[in-house]
């Protein structure tokens, strides 16, 4: 999807500063000098096109009582699809990537307890017959920042 300047500006605004007020789209429209309806139409188009993955609340997994870990395993080339299929089934596994390392499959796992995490990893070991899964829960977070300025607008 082509993003014109107005869409870029809109995206930059709503990544950080979505107005939590009774009429947020009107507020954004006033900031951008366009009609409320146009804000809504542009947002709908960007959601439909997948440019915006979600427009809502992003919660802190720890603060809502969840615990998480980053996992890595070595998957033979010819088993990547079938192993990924097993892993991706779990809703708490939100990200799964192939990476250019001996540990070639990396996924994140969030669950309501460490017991549930162990249980899921146990199931994955059993179903994939891959015994070694590194589980690397963060012991300390020095920085977490998920939103970036939209490219083309300014360097970051």
Partner 1 sequence: MLTEQEKKIVKELQNNIPLVKRPFEQMARRLGMEEQELLDKIEEFRQRGILRRFGATVRHQNLGYTANAMVVWDIPDDQVEEAGKTMAQFPEVSHCYQRPTHPGWPYKLFTVVHGKTRAECEEKAGAIAQKTGYHNYKPVFSTRELKKSSMKYFED
Site for partner 1 in 75-104 (CB under 8 A): 84, 87-88, 91-101, 103
Structure tokens at 132: 């070694």
Q: What whole-number distance in Å separates Cα of residue 111 and Cα of residue 66?
A: 5
- Tell me which stretch binds partner 1 (CB under 8 A): 27-35, 121-129, 139-147: 139-147
> Is there a contact between 21 and 27 (Cβ–Cβ < 8 Å)?
yes
Shortest CB 57 distance to partner 1, Å: 4
Going from the C-alpha of 118 to that of each of 28, 92, 109, 110, 137, the distances in angstroms are 45, 13, 10, 11, 12
Q: What part of residues 114-133 is at the interface with partner 1 (CB under 8 A)?
A: none
Shortest CB 33 distance to partner 1, Å: 19
String of contacts with partner 1 for each residue 18-37, x by CB under 8 A: x-xxxxxxx---------x-
């Amino acid at each position: 999807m082509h993003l014109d300047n107005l869409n870029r500006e809109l995206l930059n605004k709503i990544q950080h500063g979505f107005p939590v007020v009774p009429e947020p789209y009107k507020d954004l429209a006033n900031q951008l000098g366009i009609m409320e309806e146009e804000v809504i139409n542009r947002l709908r188009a960007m959601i439909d096109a997948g440019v915006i993955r979600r427009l809502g609340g992003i919660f802190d997994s720890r603060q809502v009582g969840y615990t998480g870990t980053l996992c890595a395993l070595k998957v033979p080339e010819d088993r990547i699809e079938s192993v990924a299929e097993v892993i991706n089934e779990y809703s708490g596994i939100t990200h799964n990537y192939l990476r250019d390392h001996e540990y070639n499959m990396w996924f994140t796992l969030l669950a309501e307890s460490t017991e549930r995490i162990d249980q899921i990893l146990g199931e994955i070991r059993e179903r994939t017959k891959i015994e070694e899964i590194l589980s690397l829960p963060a012991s300390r977070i020095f920085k977490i920042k998920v939103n970036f300025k939209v490219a083309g607008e300014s360097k970051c």
